[in-house]
Structure 1
Amino acid sequence: MDFIPQDKILKVNPDTLDVVRKEINMDKPGEMKQAVNIVKEWIQQQPHLRKKDFTDHYIEIAIVTSKGSIERAKKQIDTACTMRTLMPQFFGVTSMEKDFTNLVDAGYLVIMPKLSKQNHRIMVLQITGPPPDSTIFMKFFKYSFFFAEYLKAHDYVSNYECIIDMRLASLPDILSSMNPMELKQALTIIVDCYGMRIKSIHMITSSKLIETFISILKQLLKPKMVQRLHHHNDCDEIIKTFGKEYLPEELGGTEGSVKDLRDKWLETLFSKENMEYTQEMNRALTDENCRPRGKFNEEYAGMPGTFRVLSVD
């Protein structure tokens, strides 16, 4: 693939393809195509992978988010199929009404249309109220992976910047309702299955309880990731860091409102085309009876409950 397909919402810079490939040292003519073919051949040789017809774009993005490493891209694809098999509660979206009731009452997750000057994608989570019930976090994680599946099929980036607007949130309710183990599992899935390389996490709130929330995150994240956590009392530093032209109105930007962008994303994510693609990816599972036992124990031991092997990078 020598061009980035045009998307309904996501925009890229004219030099995005070249910049991303140079970042991972895969910019020589024909180099990426050769790498994709190697991974495609490997997939055909894996008896435990039930899906064999991943698109070239899907495989290329796995390579991009693996920093150009073919072996890490193989493992990412394998891990994604394994997680869908072992932890189906995080996957299998069928409809907005069935899977995400009350989710919009708690907040909005959107991906900004424009790439930053560094060719990073900016995601914004705006929490608008207290959790309506104890299931809201699992619904949010499931929605996030549903979103990530779309991004992997349509976007071309290697790095993400996260902004969490918690100014309207009830931190006491969040802390009392949050399950750290589910959060740990979700963080592992977003990194190891979808390859999202998070360059920074910016949390906006004036609540003193933010320190408690950050202390919980520090127990779940690697030290390298902890260093990328930032707390702001207001949006001033966010604007200085990213620029108004890349941010929504709610954060002092000029890129429309979070609510309007959310509606556009919901229309796109639940379109007939994307739902058919989602159903196809839901079948990207593993047949563990066909996987060598030693290989499984080496790579995935403890994954469903403790994640002693997999970790968030």
Structure 2
Amino acid sequence: MSDSYSFVSPTHEQMEIIRQQLGTDEEDIKRTIASLRAWLKTQPHLPEEIDDAQIERMYIQCKCSTERVKKGLDAYFSLRTRYPEMMNRDPTGQDVVRTMEHMKVVLMPRLTKELYRVHVYSHIDPDPQWVLWIDYAKVASICFDMMLFDDYSLGDVLIIDLKNVTIAHLLRTDINVIRAMEFAHKTAFCRGLKGIHLLNADKVTDFAMKIVKLGLSEKLQQRVHVHLPGSTTLFDHVSKEYLPDELGGTAGPTDKLAYDFIRRAEKKRGWFLEQDRYTSDESKRPPDNHYADDLFGVSGSFKKLSVD
């Protein structure tokens, strides 16, 4: 596969622009990482197995709020305890392989001019029988962790192509998993979602929006944009150079972009298998730790929630 489609890490100039926008610099980041590591040592329920670079990216994504990073670190390890169904990850496992066969997941190689990272979910299988939301969540969490390795951005733009999606697909939606994914994205991985774009949504728009309202916070609902078949309104939000060829962009074919994503994940297989062992020990959580109630506002297990 051509390297021209491979993930491009942010340049030094882009990183400096991001730091300047957030009012931080190298010295501040070093002090903050040291402070957060010292805090981790005071939390007997949390492991310390996280790299400095990952903490730095959390700090950037949290707009340089150490309090939000503390909450994020707690959530990062507690997520694996509370949602093992989502966080037991093997990039070469049958569940991940099957998901990638029935849907293309792409991290676009370059940051947009706003310094956002574009994520694309497309080529969804027309057969709804294979739909398993817990497997979507697992692939998404792999993606989130890879962002803590490779990314340096001001937020994410999510694009979902509903071209092959029917009401039968949507009836298999698990609202609790969607809520858990939003919690993981925002709190545990400290990422900001700047926009959600639903493409080719004419026949299922009303139903899809009903699910969005059930599964996402009110703030995120306001960032959802619907684009009808044949329209070019997506380009008002995301330039063609940051989109796959099949969506009218110029950044390369989806197949190669998706191939690159999963190959990069597979190269980190050993890390995922080891890292998922590091979970919070809730029996040791200090009684004065005030994050617990904030962290788990969603159900602790995945249960089907019907959509009327």
Query: TM-score, with normalisation over the residues of structure 1?
Result: 0.87
Residue 38 of structure 2 corresponds to 41
**Is residue 2:266 matched to residue 1:270?**
yes
Q: What SS does structure 1 have at the residue aligned with 2:194? A: strand
CA RMSD of aligned residues (A): 2.3
The question of whether the paired residues in 1 share the 8 Å contact of 2:185 and 2:191 is answered with yes
Separation in 1, partners of 2:21, 2:231? 30
- Give the CA deviation at 1:218: 1.7
Residue 151 of structure 1 corresponds to 147
Structure 1 residues 248, 134: CA separation in 2 closer, same or farther (over 3 Å shift)?
Answer: closer
Residue 9 of structure 2 corresponds to 11
Separation in 1, partners of 2:296, 2:190? 20
Separation in 2, partners of 1:73, 1:95? 27
Aligned residues: 296
The question of whether the paired residues in 2 share the 8 Å contact of 1:204 and 1:231 is answered with yes
Q: What SS does structure 2 have at the residue aligned with 1:133? A: helix
- Give the CA deviation at 1:230: 0.3
Q: Which has the higher contact order (CA 8 A, sep 6+)?
A: 2
Residue 188 of structure 1 corresponds to 183
Separation in 1, partners of 2:292, 2:157? 34
Residue 227 of structure 2 corresponds to 232
Residue 239 of structure 2 corresponds to 243
Q: Which runs of 5+ in 1 are unaligned?
A: 1-7, 308-313
The question of whether the paired residues in 1 share the 8 Å contact of 2:62 and 2:191 is answered with no
Residue 5 of structure 1 corresponds to none
- Give the CA deviation at 1:156: 1.0
**Is residue 2:130 matched to residue 1:137?**
no
Separation in 1, partners of 2:209, 2:161? 14
- Give the CA deviation at 1:42: 0.8
Residue 199 of structure 1 corresponds to 194
Query: TM-score, with normalisation over the residues of structure 2?
Result: 0.88
Of residues 16, 19, 30, the one that matches 1:21 is 19
- Give the CA deviation at 1:221: 2.3
Separation in 2, partners of 1:258, 1:22? 34
Residue 160 of structure 1 corresponds to 156
The question of whether the paired residues in 2 share the 8 Å contact of 1:107 and 1:125 is answered with yes
Residue 169 of structure 2 corresponds to 174
Percent identity over the alignment is 24
Q: Report 1:64-83 matches (<5 A).
A: 64-83=60-79
Q: Which runs of 5+ in 2 are unaligned?
A: 1-5, 303-308
Q: Which amino acid aligns with 1:179?
A: D
Of residues 105, 116, 123, the one that matches 1:120 is 116
Separation in 1, partners of 2:201, 2:282? 48
